[in-house]
Chain A
Amino acid sequence: MAEIVLEGITKRYPDGAVAVKDVNLSVGDGEFVILVGPSGCGKSTTLNMIAGLEDITEGTLLIDGQVVNDKTPKDRDIAMVFQSYALYPHMSVRDNMGFALRLAKVDKATIREKVEEAARILDLTEHLDRKPANLSGGQRQRVAMGRAIVRDPKAFLMDEPLSNLDAKLRVQMRTQISRLQQRLGSTTVYVTHDQTEAMTLGDRVVVMRGGVVQQIGTPQRLYEQPKNLFVAGFIGSPAMNFLHATAEDNRLRTSVGALDLSDRLRRSLERHDAPRDLIVGLRPEAFEDAALVDRGRIGSGTTFSVDIDVVESLGSDVYAYFTEDEWQPTATSELAELAADSGVTDTGAGGHQIVTRLNASTQVREGSRAELWVDTAKMHVFDPVSGTNLTLSDEPAD
């Protein structure tokens, strides 16, 4: 296993379009790094450049300390799992898994041994002599994994390996991949558009948009300290709510009422020389049913009342939705792209829906008015023009 270092990697197509711009990333030995972003963000192109399937226009790629820009995939010693699995339809499972070793002129007995070992780990032993066409989706996916692990390569590259599976199988395979990666201690770069996969699998997550890296960090860090509107909106499910706000003294005036600024937030905004018009970001769990908040804590937030549209009970939590009428569609391209990516632009509902996550014992009812409380300490404030998160105290050191 080895370390992968990307230094200023750029991909520019002959027609001038830039797919990936100046990516700097260092994947440590044995680390599991996820590239995530909406489609077209350059994540697969980046992965293909690491694999050697696409040329690097600018920058340096090091695998195990060696510059490999001009090496063919064959000489990079990496394994890749494709979204379509790319199993060779004319070869049995055994031959599929042993193909790379056969090309590397490994002797037959060793190939056999390694393939059977991998098959045992992946529970494929009884399918070894079948053709891919006769396997289920999950089995094919495991063969694709097996083909990668028999080689004991310097790194694994995975391009949306789970996106062709149904939801239940995807969750199972997710844990299996995680376990396998820990067991093998393999350096892994994994591409997905699914932020849940990114959050659950990765040691570190790289969020990309339009070919540019937005933020690199642990899942927790991305969730709690998103650097900008895009990361804030992309990471987390249900997504963060965004409200227009106007700064007034120590408060932010929004459609749900005036939100008090803590000293820390105020200082942070001053330091960033924040404009008057702002965007406030609130995660659903920043809200609570006002009736259920401790007397002691209630002062640290703001209480407001709204008409609840929809209540969804998940058992452990309750999602309560209300509509913010005064919302004007924002000009920020980040929010527009996020909206398009999550499909909310297509729902056709008027106004702007806010999601809150409340304690399961809440009494709020659909169609009735409710008192909600929001924890202003968990508030993020963004510059509507640049999208920068103005609440981060200092540059996060990854």
Chain B
Amino acid sequence: MSAAGRRRMTGWALVNIIVIVYALFPVCWIISLSFKDPSTLTDGSFIPTEWTWENYHGIFQTSEFTRALINSIGIALISTVIAVVLGTMAAYAVARLRFPGKSLLIGMSLLIAMFPPISLVSPLFNIERIIGIFDTWIGLIIPYMTFSLPLAIYTLSAFFREIPWDLEKAAKVDGATPAQAFRLVIAPLAAPGVFTTAILVFIFCWNDFLFAISLTSTSAARTVPAALAFFTGSSQFAQPTGSIAAAAVVITIPIIIFVLLFQRRIVAGLTSGAVKG
């Protein structure tokens, strides 16, 4: 390699490292905190002087965290499934069919994508109390799936549009019923898009904080992000710092797994809906 080439490589390596450090620094810090012994929590050093599993041990002892974790997983999964199913139906129609009112649907979902959630918190709070779904799973699933529907519809319709239209015609001429054309030709091609969308929607639901603290009042439906704000620590007198850090790391793990495994798909999904639109 020439000297100039080597200098270029070093330059890029440096730039890449800066980007990676930028992205990972806060994550590393919270991980470090979560492994700190309560006695060294306030030493301010970036790397724990003494490593301990105590904080993790602590949070899994309390139902406060485990209950919230179950709520988070359950609510996010159910919302994702419903949003993806409804979104797939609508996106198929948007990408494939001609019908009056399509622009209205697109406009409406765009509007909802821009909607400030706080504007819905007060009416939903009251409505949910009246019909008795306040502080329940369903009370969170409903706003989650609603707010992730636009994301699902955009991402999926972008994926659907890339499936060549002729294939469906070809399947029809080959003797397929519309249902067969969908099941044997369109669905296998759409599956990657649906999967990607599911990941994005799950991240969205997993992330929410505002609805989670507004529409719950007990641990019955409180998700982890909301529960963190109410953490009291493993014992009454301890600062909850270590526990919060450990809980924060636990709910970050699924995100890191998704990112590591499906980096390419997530990038494609995030950008397809917004740019190609």
- Nearest A residue to B166, CB-CB: A86
Task: Name, among A78, A89, A104, A151, the residue most crowded by chain B CB atoms within 10 Å (CB to CB).
Answer: A89
CB interface residues, A 143-172, toward B, < 8 Å? 147, 151, 157
Q: In the assembled complex, which residues on chain B have CB atoms less than 8 Å from the CB atom of A104?
A: 175
Q: In the assembled complex, which residues on chain A have CB atoms less than 8 Å from the CB atom of B43?
A: none
Beta-carbon contact of A72 and B174 below 8 Å: no
Beta-carbon contact of A73 and B172 below 8 Å: yes
0/1 string, A58-91, CB within 8 A of B gives 1: 0000000000000011100111101110101110
CB interface residues, B 240-273, toward A, < 8 Å? none
CB interface residues, B 51-108, toward A, < 8 Å? none
Beta-carbon contact of B169 and A72 below 8 Å: no
Q: How far is the CB of B171 from chain A (nearest CB, A)?
A: 7
Beta-carbon contact of B175 and A74 below 8 Å: yes
CA distance A88 to B184 in the complex (A): 10
CA distance A138 to B243 in the complex (A): 64
Q: A86-B164, A86-B166 are in contact. Are A80 and B188 (CB under 8 A)?
A: no
Q: In the assembled complex, which residues on chain B have CB atoms less than 8 Å from the CB atom of A89?
A: 189
Q: A74-B177, A103-B180 are in contact. Are A86 and B172 (CB under 8 A)?
A: no
Task: Name, among A79, A103, A157, the residue most crowded by chain B CB atoms within 10 Å (CB to CB).
Answer: A103
Classify chain B: how many residues form its interface, as a range: 10 to 19
CA distance A74 to B177 in the complex (A): 7
- In the complex, whether B121 has a CB less than 8 A from a CB of chain A is no
- In the complex, whether B185 has a CB less than 8 A from a CB of chain A is yes
- In the complex, whether A99 has a CB less than 8 A from a CB of chain B is yes
Q: How far is the CB of B91 from chain A (nearest CB, A)?
A: 19
Q: How far is the CB of A335 from chain B (nearest CB, A)?
A: 34
Q: How far is the CB of A159 from chain B (nearest CB, A)?
A: 9
Q: A90-B189, A103-B180 are in contact. Are A82 and B174 (CB under 8 A)?
A: no
Q: A90-B188, A103-B180 are in contact. Are A72 and B172 (CB under 8 A)?
A: yes
Beta-carbon contact of A53 and B169 below 8 Å: yes
Q: In the assembled complex, which residues on chain B have CB atoms less than 8 Å from the CB atom of A84?
A: 164, 166
Which residue in A53, A77, A151 is a CB contact (below 8 Å) of B172? A53
Q: A88-B185, A90-B189 are in contact. Are A79 and B164 (CB under 8 A)?
A: no
Beta-carbon contact of A52 and B188 below 8 Å: no
0/1 string, B157-190, CB within 8 A of A gives 1: 0000000101101111111110010001100110
CA distance A83 to B170 in the complex (A): 11
CA distance A226 to B184 in the complex (A): 48
- In the complex, whether A100 has a CB less than 8 A from a CB of chain B is yes
Q: A82-B166, A84-B166, A89-B189 are in contact. Are A103 and B175 (CB under 8 A)?
A: yes
Which residues of B are at the interface with A, using a C-beta cutoff of 8 A?
Answer: 164, 166-167, 169-177, 180, 184-185, 188-189
Q: Kindly list the 3 A-B residue pairs having the minimum CB-CB distance in the complex, ordered from nearest.
A: A86-B166, A100-B174, A86-B170
Contacts A73-B172, A74-B172 known; 20 new A-B pairs at CB < 8 A: A48-B169, A51-B173, A53-B169, A53-B173, A72-B172, A72-B177, A73-B175, A74-B177, A77-B175, A79-B173, A79-B174, A80-B169, A84-B166, A86-B166, A88-B171, A88-B185, A90-B188, A90-B189, A100-B174, A100-B175
